[in-house]
Amino acid sequence: MRILLTGGARSGKSSFAERYAIHLGRRGVYIASAQPFDDEMAARLALHKQRRDESGFPWTTVEEPLHIADWLNGHKPEPGEAVLIDCLTLWLSNWVLRYEQEPDMEERVSAQIEKLAEAVRSYEGDVLLVTNEVGSGIVPEYKLGRVYRDLAGRMNQRIAQTCGEVFLVTSGIPVELKRLAFRFE
Residue 33 annotated as binding site:
yes
Residue 14 annotated as binding site:
yes
Residue 51 annotated as binding site:
yes
Residue 7 annotated as binding site:
yes
- Annotation marks residue 75 as catalytic: no
Residue 110 annotated as binding site:
no
Handedness of CA 127, 132, 136, 142 (dihedral sign): negative
> Annotated catalytic residue: which of 23, 48, 67, 75?
48
Instruction: State the CB neighbour count (10 A cutoff) for residue 103.
Output: 8
Residue 11 annotated as binding site:
yes
Q: How far apart are CA 147 and CA 91, in angstroms?
A: 15
Residue 160 annotated as binding site:
no
Q: How far apart are CA 179 and CA 105, in angstroms?
A: 35
Residue 56 annotated as binding site:
no
109: Cβ contacts below 8 Å, ≥ 6 apart:
92, 95, 96, 99, 151
Residue 136 annotated as binding site:
no
Q: How far apart are CA 129 and CA 152, in angstroms?
A: 14
Q: How far apart are CA 62 and CA 44, in angstroms?
A: 16
Q: Which segments are annotated as binding site for GTP?
A: 7-14, 32-34, 49-52, 63, 86
In the annotated binding site, the residues are 7-14, 32-34, 49-52, 63, 86
Residues known to be catalytic? 48
